[in-house]
Structure 1
Amino acid sequence: MGINMASIKLMEEFGILGANRNVLDFGSSNLYDATAAEIEEFVRRHNHRPRADLAAWAERLAAKSGKDTSGQAINGAFVGELLEAAGMGYDAIDIAAGYKTTIVDLNSMALPRKMAKKYDSVINCGTSEHILNQMNVFAAVHAAAKTNGLIMHIVPSIGYVDHGYFCYTSRFFFDLAGYNHYEIVDMWYDGALSNENAFASARQYQSIFPAVSKRLDLIGMAERETRIDRTPIPTISISLIYRKKVDIPFMGTVETSTSVGGLATRLLRRYGSRR
């Protein structure tokens, strides 16, 4: 996961980042495409007594946020380093080691108790779509935020055919807000960032699953497969900011737009009070 300076500045504008705020990052985020001047200015805006070597440190961090000679991200700078230098608290949870990271497998583990109701801001910038247990990950986000804390999601919505496991609809985020009494501070889409191919994953897995190879062999021969292969798919992300208004247990969502008949009594009892 990575966050660039443009996104950092956007988070400042919404108050997600600011002096003395305590931030939890879902996924230990790398810092991308930062200049030394941007880093130094950010730190000075929030910390009136910055580190003595700020200019030299900003140069080093900026260099590690860039790309190598082949154009690949160096992945040597972390958002947590920047936030701490600016006087903020920072923690991350991830399945892999990273900066100030607690190892938590959100497929099977709850948020550690020491992290519950601790954070002024909780950010999920491209992590939740990689986790199979969606109920658990959004429950962990909810549990981490203080009352009146801010939650920011930046995740795939359209396209991203070979990225993670999920793309999200706006309906999901609106229903999540309704069931959990979140205030929606703002929401928007970004993109199209690039175009993808519907068969991208199929091409990667065809050597493992023979039936997939048979389907790919139809490209150039069958009208349906050929047309789909030639159709560029835009990648569009959805961004949404919540304010957690009340301290209530997390509630998942139930989507009934295509249901025929009434909800079962036990579901009405479970979800009805929050709808």
Structure 2
Amino acid sequence: MSTVLDPTTTAAAPSGRALPPSPRPRRLPRASTISVNGLLVVGCAYMVLPLLWLVFASTKNLEDLYSTSAMAFGEISLFENIGAVFAEGNGVFGLWMLNSILYAGVGAVLGALISVAAGYAFDKFSFPGKEKWYSFVLLGVLVPNTATVLPLYLLASNIGMTNNIWSVLIPALTNPFGVYLARVYSQAYVPGEVLEAARVDGAGPIRSFFSLGLPMIMPGFVTIALFQFVGIWNNFMLPLVMLSNEKLFPVSLGIFSWSSQAYAFPHFYPMVITGSMLSILPLLVAFIMLQRFWKSGLTAGSVK
């Protein structure tokens, strides 16, 4: 009777020692892996290449912008273009940067605090019509910000609040998406037992929120504040409609005003490019400084 040998078993050597198993053939990467990695490479290039072009173009004058390669440095230095940007209009670019820091900084902190308080209330409190009001908040998430610019302008013009800081700052304090995120973070970070123990000890709702709820939800607060900061910093339509005084412009609107003049005065093109590069530096600083809180906020609730 013949014996059928299993090909996966290890054959014995003549000396009695086992032979090492034969190496398995390498499998080619699956098509799904290649497609996913290809999409990631394309997405990375889509985000990184414009920034690289911005860095290279910031070292060029008007002639070099059209006569040199896109990914090549110009003949003049970056610091010369930066000096020209801050010297234009008696240093108005520095004022625009300060205005953007004011709008985005104050709006991010106060707006995130309002969103966290609202999300905390929707999660921990019970009141009539709670779910209906929360449904209106979710509907607000679906409405684009540009669709609310004209109604906000009409409301502000009726009460005489156009062309001032408050016309840009007050609308930035409301963020339906931040309220939604805050409720999710409150459910993940703030246990109800802790608040119940605080009530037994005599702490009221406001003290419980600021002493217990807000410190526990701090990663979510920082995450919402970062989203608010980026959204307000890049906001363009609302300042364009509300403001007419150049000294109140944020940096996005100020660069647009230079760009609109570049057709008649081409020397504005290098300043527009250099100013655009300088305008993203505060965003990079904010993300680097708050990266630890941002990462922990994004992973909230992933591990139970």
Tell me which interval the TM-score lies in, with the shorter structure as reference length.
under 0.3
Between Structure 1 and Structure 2, which shows a larger proportion of strand residues?
1
Give the number of the structure whose alpha-carbon radius of gyration is greater.
2
Between Structure 1 and Structure 2, which shows a larger proportion of helix residues?
2
TM-score (norm 1): 0.24
Bigger relative contact order, structure 1 or 2 (CA pairs below 8 A, ≥6 apart): 2
